[in-house]
Structure 1
Amino acid sequence: MPDFIFCLPLRSMSAAEKKKIFDFSVLQRIFFFVKPYKKYFYLSLLLAIFMAVAAPIRPYLIQLTVNGSTGKVNQVPDWVRFVLFGQDLSDVSRFIISVTIFQIGFILLETSIRFLFSYITAWMGQHVVKDLRVAVYKKVLGLNLRQFDQTPIGTLTTRTINDIESINEIFSDGLIPIVADLLTIIITLGTMFYMDWKLTLVCLTPFPIMIIATYYFKESVNKSFIQVRNAVAALNAFVQEHITGMQVVQAFAAEEKEANAFQEINKKHRDANIHAIFAYSVFFPVVEVVLALSMGILVWWIADKSLDAGMLVAFILYLNQIFRPLRVIADKFNVLQMGMIAAERVLKVLDNTDELPPSPADAYKPSKIRGDIHFKQVSFSYTGNQNVLHGINFEVKAGETVALVGHTGSGKTSIISLLNRLYQIQEGEIAIDGVDISRWDTDCLRSGIGVVLQDVFLFSGTILENITLRNPAISIQQVEEAAKMIGVHDFIMQLPGGYQYNVMERGSTLSLGQRQLISFIRALLYDPAILILDEATSSIDTESELLIEKAIETLIAGRTSIVIAHRLSTIRKANQIIVLDKGELKEKGNHAELLRAGGFYARLHEMQFGKKKAVLQ
């Protein structure tokens, strides 16, 4: 295999290229990941050649042994004399003993080579899978969040786990084993033609039946496997989504309906597998029948022509060496095809260009962030078709607190997502400390912005791990100080194990309010220059809210803060209040100014406090 195969870059292919060289092109791109292990690849090819060349040796020696034991005079080739160390082979007993001893040693060597071949191909496949999985996961980490909005998580899980595992079979059961089997068949056929071309042609008379059966088997199983892979992706997506949303399923008594939906998807998976099983059940008996026909014709021909018994035994062994790989070569070809189908899906993830541009080589990376924020005529769309923000323009001075208010869907969360560069804007500019955020080092930018979201996500692990995000530079003492600052330390210490308490996936063992408090500690601990609070007190009871409001006052002092709140009572002290409606900036000013203006903010204020007053009455 030429070295250029290992050096091909990852790139997108045109439809015309896919039609012309689809399979070979995908294979080339997978071999890009073989480059670090190409010496093992070459070694596996050498071992395959050795096994193919060695395949006809033992049947030929058995032929000589049978002929010698039946009294037929053997014309022993020079290479046989050489491998038997030049012994005098005129004595039949000595000849048989010498050949038997050699065969035992040769079998041990051949078995060792086959073991080494299988181990190296599997070892190489596992290393390629490891490197490919890391590359895919890194790619997923860098994708635009829009991809996660549009793609089921279960589908990405299938690409990262199941499909990449299928690529391993390209090496362990696919390409290289197919090459080894084909070489064995070719060399064995060549040996048979050399020994007796007429007898070989006679033996291969039923062979067209085998070719036809192999073709239909390959097509049938390949179609079934594609259906299986699609069904697996659908199953993963369905199960992941519904287990995550199990609370909603049970709350609305939708268990039976969802179980029926799952049965339909599972039925497609079952039917595809049964179709493949049927193809196997037909193909393997056909192979056995064709082999039996070939052997029957062989025996008839040798008996009719009065050929020696050694030739009969040798050709029976040769036929087995041809048909044994043929039994599985069609299956291996399907494994190769499935690996390449999986590889195509994985490469689509790697080819995905919907990601934020990387930090420029001369990225802005200050030692300290002041916290000036400036949105300049920013427009943004999640889908590229309809904008959710229209010409947003505002400025926040370092150390100021700005509040974003508006109805649900007005664009508040979109603004803070853009500030973190979680999405790419279509128009305008966002600057921090006078520098466009596209010129910032992304890690530096995000490390300087602390976020407490309304929908708190906790990972499976301990409270300490969720607060520090497994950052070894953060000590337990720092965590405890941050917890004490907002009055949460006592609550954590009451849990079994304290900071080592396992919160389980998504923090399911904690209440919404407790998860919110842990998220708040996480933001506080990183001492950000800019603090974003997205409905940070929405899931917390009154007592906890009082604790957090005290901590917020301490935290936002001297720090640029963006607060999103539906409850206007929490943002009265903000230096600036920005009112949004349907993605447009309607008003901005402080609490008193906006009330005097009598616009959107005044109406929101009247709606909230008017309702509250009515309830009190």
Structure 2
Amino acid sequence: MRDFRKEEEIEKAYDSKLMKRLLRYAQPYWKILLLCIILLLFVTGVELARPYLIRVAIDEHINVMNHAQVVMNEPPAEDVEYVEFRGNYLVRERLLETEYPDLERWQIIRDDGQSFIMEDFHRTPSDIEVGEDGTGYYAEFNGQTRRLTQLADQEYSDFREQDYTGLTGIALFLLSIMIVGFFLNYLQVYILNKTSQRIIFNMRHEVFTHLQKMSLSYFDNNPVGRLVTRVTNDTETLNEMYTGVLVNLFKDLFMLLGIIIIMFSLNAQLALSTFAVLPLVIVVAAFFRKYAREAYRKVRVKLARINSTISENISGMKIIQLFNQQKRKLNEFKKINNEYFDATMRHIFVYAIFRPSMDLLYSLALAILIWYGGGRVVTSALEFGILYAFTDYIRRFFQPINDLTEKYNILQSAMASSERIFKILDTEEDISEPAEPVKLPDRLEGRIEFDDVDFSYDGEEWVLRDINLEIEPGETIALVGATGAGKSSIIKLLSRFYDIQKGSIKIDGTDIRKYPRHELRRHIGVVLQEVFLFTGTVADNITLHRDDISQEEIVEAAEYVNADKFITKLKNGYKHKVTERGSTFSAGEKQLIAFARTLAYDPDILVLDEATANIDTETELLIQDALYKLTENRTTIVIAHRLSTIQHADRIVVLHKGRIREIGDHQELLDQEGIYHDLYQLQYKDQLLQNREDLKKKSS
């Protein structure tokens, strides 16, 4: 597990090279992603329009007492709305494009449910007092007195008619753009997620395809759990990066730029005072970026250790319980668990500081806005709608900044995941396909030659040395020897699961490295000691979903190896469902299915790797008569610890410490009284002792 933790330690919060590689996967979909960005632009525009429209509603239709009414003697030449009032034509000054400096300005004010016209325009202060004397109504404010003309209810309604109409229009327009925004946002989210899933689909497919090309040595050095994590969890993390970070960063950018532009266009001084907190925001974000990366790295390292510890202990639980190691293992786990807990708490501390800090800075910006902007509203220097819009925009401005924590976390995870995925993809195949492949014939003769073969799994410790062996077509060769002698290595080399370091292996006179691997393996049938059954039916596990193998051939192959005797007793026969790894079948039954599978593929070369090691005596008797049929007209290599199963082999090859020590048939090797004789004596010593006792009794 050391390598796994090392991967976590070298990860970066952002790596431009990794990002470029990730963007290459998105390149085929750049038009769709560009469409998503354009849709995001419109969605952002809809979101930014809401506060602005509400500002328009407040300042231009609800709170209009501060608006001057230009008094004209005739309807205005400009195409604007006006109100006839006692022989005059009153037009709101804000609606006119042309200035009329010589004309009077009147103002409408409201007090205690009554409406008045003030003929000398003055922005209505908050402390105005309306009174009545013998000559009519008057208004007092700031030590000044203005005469007022009372309006009838209908006259006031006439003045506000355009406001009622405007508010209705704004409400309908706001509702319309929100509905459009909803559908645009739905379309954008759907397209983006579908595209992201397609990108991840392609990446996952590429990783799995690459794994299938790797030799067995790669899987020897990489645990299955780690590889499964790469294909599933790591690719899903990248999916979050494509959807939550890559494209949505444009939305944040559009949002921030749009808010800045709108706020400065509404009131530059108020915008400058509000954005006075931005330097502090930048400083806090910089500190967060530094410490969050360090905290994240430590969490990932400790998480890798805790995962490896759990995996190791669960896998070895039988040994732990047998030797009463529960307490010691629990103490080890407690220590690692505490380290992970401490690292997680440091990570939480960093994030717990950042988010409240941003909230504090947001509150500071809001306080400045209320203090400065609110004061200007009180003095009628600023309209209330603008102040409202600013409070809404400043909240929206800090939203992407607050989301930075989540996006930064996703980005870090994406960099780590992409680094691990690309490490797999960058691992070159150590068994390469031939540059100029030799096409194999439909049937092989089956002549096999090992010429001065040397092989090592790690390049240091030699497993096979100076292997020279010729196997004639149709010949049955048995490989025997102690554990670690190199028997299984020979058949792995024959199928090119590994490549040799020296010498050559030839089939029908051609080096196997010149054959395409998939064609070579199509002619070699292998039955392993540990049979792997896939989820599906019994028939599927015999054919491995090859369409050219008929049901009749399946049954025939099963009958040849006597597998039909138990298959026909199953509930659904050949359609019986096989659970994961064939857990409901005995070792012997799985072995018989493997024999049927090999026979159904009709290979030219047959390899039996300890194929009868896990089969009980009764089952072994069932397949012994099938072995003759299986090996007939096929070159066969048999590896077995049970010497009784290979006594009828044409030749027996004895391996010892990676070298061929003896070759001959059963009786010849016994007569030599060498390694084979010793193995035979060890295996059958009880039987030999019993025979000697019987002879003694007879002689006495």
TM (norm. structure 1) is 0.88
For 2:601 and 2:12, the matched residues in 1 are separated by: 54
Checking the alignment, whether the CA contact within 8 Å between 2:476 and 2:638 is kept in structure 1 is yes
For residue 375 of structure 1, the aligned residue among 434, 450, 470 is 450
Alpha carbons of 1:165 and 1:379: their partners in 2 closer, same or farther (altered >3 Å)?
same
Does 1:337 pair with 2:408?
no
Structure 1 residues 499-552: Cα deviation after superposition (integer angstroms, max 9, x where no partner):
333442222222222222222221122111000111221111222212211110
For 1:202 and 1:577, the matched residues in 2 are separated by: 93
- Map of 1:419 onto structure 2: 494
- Map of 2:15 onto structure 1: 23
Checking the alignment, whether the CA contact within 8 Å between 2:452 and 2:504 is kept in structure 1 is yes
Checking the alignment, whether the CA contact within 8 Å between 1:222 and 1:338 is kept in structure 2 is no
Letter in 2 for 1:553: Y
For residue 290 of structure 1, the aligned residue among 358, 361, 367 is 361
For 1:463 and 1:270, the matched residues in 2 are separated by: 48
Secondary structure of the residue that 1:205 maps to in structure 2?
Answer: helix
For residue 457 of structure 1, the aligned residue among 509, 532, 540 is 532
Aligned pair count reads 592
- Of 88-97 and 410-419, deviating more is 88-97
Does 1:594 pair with 2:665?
no
Structure 1 residues 394-433: Cα deviation after superposition (integer angstroms, max 9, x where no partner):
1101111111111110000000000001111111111111
Does 1:32 pair with 2:103?
no
For 1:545 and 1:299, the matched residues in 2 are separated by: 90
Checking the alignment, whether the CA contact within 8 Å between 2:374 and 2:387 is kept in structure 1 is no
Does 1:142 pair with 2:225?
no
For 1:205 and 1:453, the matched residues in 2 are separated by: 74
For residue 640 of structure 2, the aligned residue among 550, 565, 570 is 565
Alpha carbons of 1:248 and 1:21: their partners in 2 closer, same or farther (altered >3 Å)?
closer
For 2:504 and 2:165, the matched residues in 1 are separated by: 92
The Cα shift of 1:475 comes to 2.9
Letter in 1 for 2:463: V
The Cα shift of 1:600 comes to 2.5
Does 1:41 pair with 2:116?
no
The Cα shift of 1:607 comes to 3.4
Letter in 1 for 2:219: F
For 2:490 and 2:571, the matched residues in 1 are separated by: 39
For residue 425 of structure 2, the aligned residue among 346, 350, 354 is 350
Counterparts of residues 51-450 of structure 1 (less than 5 Å): 51-68=43-60, 69-71=62-64, 72-73=66-67, 75=94, 91-227=162-298, 229-230=300-301, 272-305=343-376, 306=379, 307-360=382-435, 362-450=437-525
Checking the alignment, whether the CA contact within 8 Å between 2:11 and 2:416 is kept in structure 1 is no
Alpha carbons of 1:325 and 1:337: their partners in 2 closer, same or farther (altered >3 Å)?
same
Secondary structure of the residue that 1:532 maps to in structure 2?
Answer: strand
Alpha carbons of 1:267 and 1:23: their partners in 2 closer, same or farther (altered >3 Å)?
same
For 2:322 and 2:543, the matched residues in 1 are separated by: 34
For 2:96 and 2:548, the matched residues in 1 are separated by: 74
The Cα shift of 1:450 comes to 0.8
- Map of 2:564 onto structure 1: 489
Letter in 1 for 2:28: P
Checking the alignment, whether the CA contact within 8 Å between 1:580 and 1:587 is kept in structure 2 is yes
For 1:77 and 1:45, the matched residues in 2 are separated by: 38
Letter in 1 for 2:675: F
Checking the alignment, whether the CA contact within 8 Å between 1:226 and 1:338 is kept in structure 2 is no
Letter in 2 for 1:138: T
Structure 1 residues 65-92: Cα deviation after superposition (integer angstroms, max 9, x where no partner):
22122224474799xxxxxxxxx99933
RMSD (Å), alpha carbons: 3.0
Alpha carbons of 1:278 and 1:111: their partners in 2 closer, same or farther (altered >3 Å)?
farther
Gapped regions of structure 2 (runs ≥ 5): 1-6, 68-92, 98-158, 694-700
- Of 504-513 and 353-362, deviating more is 353-362
- Of 511-520 and 240-249, deviating more is 240-249
For 1:248 and 1:478, the matched residues in 2 are separated by: 45
Indicate the percent of aligned positions where both proteins have the same amino acid: 37
Checking the alignment, whether the CA contact within 8 Å between 2:480 and 2:487 is kept in structure 1 is yes
Alpha carbons of 1:128 and 1:258: their partners in 2 closer, same or farther (altered >3 Å)?
farther
Checking the alignment, whether the CA contact within 8 Å between 2:474 and 2:636 is kept in structure 1 is yes
Answer 1 or 2: which has greater strand percent.
Answer: 2
The Cα shift of 1:265 comes to 5.7
The Cα shift of 1:23 comes to 1.5
Gapped regions of structure 1 (runs ≥ 5): 1-14, 79-87
The Cα shift of 1:136 comes to 0.7
Structure 1 residues 342-368: Cα deviation after superposition (integer angstroms, max 9, x where no partner):
111111111111442135454423211
Checking the alignment, whether the CA contact within 8 Å between 2:14 and 2:412 is kept in structure 1 is no
For residue 649 of structure 2, the aligned residue among 566, 571, 574 is 574
The Cα shift of 1:209 comes to 3.4
- Of 342-351 and 516-525, deviating more is 516-525
For 2:13 and 2:294, the matched residues in 1 are separated by: 20
Counterparts of residues 515-534 of structure 1 (less than 5 Å): 515-534=590-609
For 2:306 and 2:583, the matched residues in 1 are separated by: 24
For 1:240 and 1:528, the matched residues in 2 are separated by: 39
Checking the alignment, whether the CA contact within 8 Å between 1:121 and 1:172 is kept in structure 2 is yes
For 1:120 and 1:310, the matched residues in 2 are separated by: 37
Answer 1 or 2: which has greater helix percent.
Answer: 1
For 1:218 and 1:177, the matched residues in 2 are separated by: 19
Structure 1 residues 83-134: Cα deviation after superposition (integer angstroms, max 9, x where no partner):
xxxxx99933333332232222122222322222222222221111111111
Secondary structure of the residue that 1:91 maps to in structure 2?
Answer: helix
Alpha carbons of 1:542 and 1:19: their partners in 2 closer, same or farther (altered >3 Å)?
closer
The Cα shift of 1:46 comes to 1.6
Checking the alignment, whether the CA contact within 8 Å between 1:410 and 1:580 is kept in structure 2 is yes
Structure 1 residues 9-39: Cα deviation after superposition (integer angstroms, max 9, x where no partner):
xxxxxx9xx9999722111212222233222
Tell me which structure has the larger Cα radius of gyration. Answer: 2
Alpha carbons of 1:161 and 1:238: their partners in 2 closer, same or farther (altered >3 Å)?
farther
Checking the alignment, whether the CA contact within 8 Å between 2:13 and 2:412 is kept in structure 1 is no
Letter in 2 for 1:481: E
Letter in 2 for 1:357: S
Secondary structure of the residue that 2:267 maps to in structure 1?
Answer: helix
Secondary structure of the residue that 1:183 maps to in structure 2?
Answer: helix
Secondary structure of the residue that 2:247 maps to in structure 1?
Answer: helix
The Cα shift of 1:235 comes to 6.0
Over 6 Å off, 4+ runs: 18-22
Alpha carbons of 1:227 and 1:141: their partners in 2 closer, same or farther (altered >3 Å)?
farther
- Of 268-277 and 346-355, deviating more is 268-277
Secondary structure of the residue that 2:533 maps to in structure 1?
Answer: coil
Alpha carbons of 1:615 and 1:165: their partners in 2 closer, same or farther (altered >3 Å)?
farther
Secondary structure of the residue that 1:444 maps to in structure 2?
Answer: helix
For 1:589 and 1:210, the matched residues in 2 are separated by: 84
For 1:250 and 1:433, the matched residues in 2 are separated by: 53
Checking the alignment, whether the CA contact within 8 Å between 2:46 and 2:177 is kept in structure 1 is no
Letter in 1 for 2:206: A
TM (norm. structure 2) is 0.78
- Of 357-366 and 528-537, deviating more is 357-366
For 1:297 and 1:281, the matched residues in 2 are separated by: 25
Checking the alignment, whether the CA contact within 8 Å between 1:132 and 1:164 is kept in structure 2 is yes
